Structure 1
Amino acid sequence: MKYGFAICLLSMLHLMCSAQEQLSTEPLILNNMKLKITFGDTELTATLYDNPTTLDLIKQLPITTKLEDYAGTEKIFYPKQKLTRESAPDGYTPSKGDITYYAPWGDVAIFYKDFGYAKGLISLGVIDNNGIEQLMTVGSTEVILELQGD
């Protein structure tokens, strides 16, 4: 009887932890807010995720900066101030179109190719409607990042 209760309790804890893991893998979206990325005659939008790191970046907008190509995989820039890591996971596996913050170096990265798991990488959002194709074709370019309400 004693072992049956312990097994039942462990099973319940496992189910609760599994449910929590599933909840935490789906990012919460910031409602009615988009990131607008403008370069040349091109304007892209991105969906932003509701987390402390993204909110910290929003506080610095608008940002005019030069995006630099890094490792043939991503475009990066350094915000004026480092962003918070509060409540951030240990790392992240980015996909093409993901906007992330690499905490160890303090840079924001927009991935135009899939990449493997990186410790210290925090997801901020994702480029909408395959717009990443336009960004990946330009070299180092000046961009304006600003908040766009719906």
Structure 2
Amino acid sequence: MTMKIQLVVKGERLSATLADNRTARDFYALLPQRLTLKDYAQTEKIAYLPRKLTTDSAPEGAKGRLGDVCYYAPWGNLAIFYRDFGYAAGLIPLAHIDGDLGALTMADSLEVVIEAAE
């Protein structure tokens, strides 16, 4: 069964499909979350979660791709990529945003609500 989440940024709803892994399911269990995203390296928006996610059975790392929502295990933060990024050890895919990411690039810092989609 495909699980969906949505990110609400400045009134715009972005739909995302959850990855099929334990870390993604642990993230889903935390929802809903209201987070402040901050720009990092002009490539991604990051925010810290209220607790670390499980990394059981997670890959050693991954490439961050445009539209990916990932967990960066070494820092315990969420990373939402609005540009492609190379391989990073400790990066675990959580979801992929379906569609335009324009709302994520409007400001250096912005509020987002991430919730389970109905």
Q: Shared fold by TM > 0.5?
A: yes
The CA distance in 1 between the partners of 2:16 and 2:5, in whole Å, is 5
Q: Deviations over 1:6-57 (max 9, x none)?
A: xxxxxxxxxxxxxxxxxxxxxxxx51x2111112221111111111000111
Correspondence 1:38 to 2:8 = yes
Over the aligned positions, Cα root-mean-square deviation in angstroms equals 1.1
Correspondence 1:138 to 2:107 = yes
User: 1:119 matched to which residue of 2?
Assistant: 89
- Number of residue pairs the alignment of both structures matches: 118
Letter in 2 for 1:145: I
- Scaled by the length of structure 1, the TM-score of the pair is 0.75
Letter in 1 for 2:61: G
Aligned counterparts, 1:27-66, within 5 A: 31=2, 33-66=3-36
Higher relative contact order (CA 8 A, sep 6+): 2
Percent of aligned pairs sharing the same letter = 47
The alpha-carbon deviation at position 134 of structure 1 amounts to 2.5
Return the index of the structure with the highest Cα Rg: 1
Aligned counterparts, 1:1-150, within 5 A: 31=2, 33-129=3-99, 131-149=100-118
Structure 1: give runs of 5+ residues left out of the alignment.
Answer: 1-29
Letter in 1 for 2:57: S
Structure 2: give runs of 5+ residues left out of the alignment.
Answer: none
Higher strand share: 2
The alpha-carbon deviation at position 139 of structure 1 amounts to 2.5
Letter in 1 for 2:39: D
The CA distance in 1 between the partners of 2:109 and 2:87, in whole Å, is 25
Higher helix share: 1
- Scaled by the length of structure 2, the TM-score of the pair is 0.94
Q: Secondary structure at the match of 2:23?
A: helix
Q: Deviations over 1:55-98 (max 9, x none)?
A: 11111100011111111110011110100111111110111111
